[in-house]
Chains A and B, each alone.
Chain A
């Protein structure tokens, strides 16, 4: 079974540019989450999709961040325009709808904004 895959693994962009991160969850996992880890801080929740619907986006830092999951399969997270404080590792995770099912993480995208 293929795991959660994320692309790109690493992105270096300049302040003001746009970056789009992609996540392909495990096939059949309706729950998809985006998390972010900023250097030296704990992993923070960004948002949660159930299929194509945004279940909870309370963790999105501001309106420069836009997440989509059209068709309920893969998801994208766009940052536009990027700021220096957006640097960090962005993790995507998926899980099934079964209660008590654990999260399965992708390898993460390391974003560096210069």
Chain B
């Protein structure tokens, strides 16, 4: 089993839709969780950190479920510009190494 797993998608949704992605992690001792966004041929950019109590940034909501070992990203009112690959990143061990999931591709259609 991979340390960090994501559904690769693609998720094809119409503008204005709400879409959610999950990311599961295998190491129960993981402490830091992040969502990154990567556009084609570009570097990953931090979208948001994921806090234990869940957090929201505009149309984006991130949640952590430690019992089931997954994090989620909810995007409301999808825009065309949200089309990208969303990467889940987990600090999967105590050595400060951050492990990437394979990414979930989102395509928002007009």
**A residues within 8 Å of B by Cβ?**
31, 33, 35, 41-45, 48, 50, 55-56, 91, 99-100, 102-108, 110
Q: How far is the CA of A100 from the CA of B31 in the complex (A)?
A: 8
Please count the residue pairs between chain A and chain B whose beta carbons lie under 8 angstroms apart in the complex. Answer: 53
Q: How far is the CA of A110 from the CA of B41 in the complex (A)?
A: 9
CB-based contact B49/A42 at 8 Å: no
Q: How far is the CA of A105 from the CA of B43 in the complex (A)?
A: 6
Given contacts A42-B102, A42-B103, A43-B87, contact A102 B46 (CB under 8 A): yes
Query: Main SS of the interface on chain B?
Result: loop
CB-based contact B43/A100 at 8 Å: no
Q: How far is the CA of A91 from the CA of B89 in the complex (A)?
A: 15
Identify A56's interface contact among B46, B97, B101, CB under 8 A: B97
**B residues within 8 Å of A by Cβ?**
31-32, 34, 36, 41-46, 49, 87, 89, 95-103
Q: How far is the CA of A107 from the CA of B45 in the complex (A)?
A: 10
Given contacts A56-B95, A107-B42, contact A102 B34 (CB under 8 A): yes
Given contacts A55-B96, A99-B32, contact A105 B45 (CB under 8 A): yes
Residue of A nearest to B87 (CB): A43
26 contacts between A and B (CB under 8 A): A31-B96, A35-B100, A42-B100, A42-B101, A42-B103, A43-B100, A43-B103, A44-B100, A45-B97, A55-B95, A55-B96, A55-B97, A56-B95, A56-B97, A99-B31, A99-B32, A100-B31, A100-B49, A102-B49, A103-B46, A103-B89, A104-B46, A105-B43, A105-B45, A107-B42, A107-B43
Q: Which residues of A contact B41 (CB under 8 A)?
A: 110
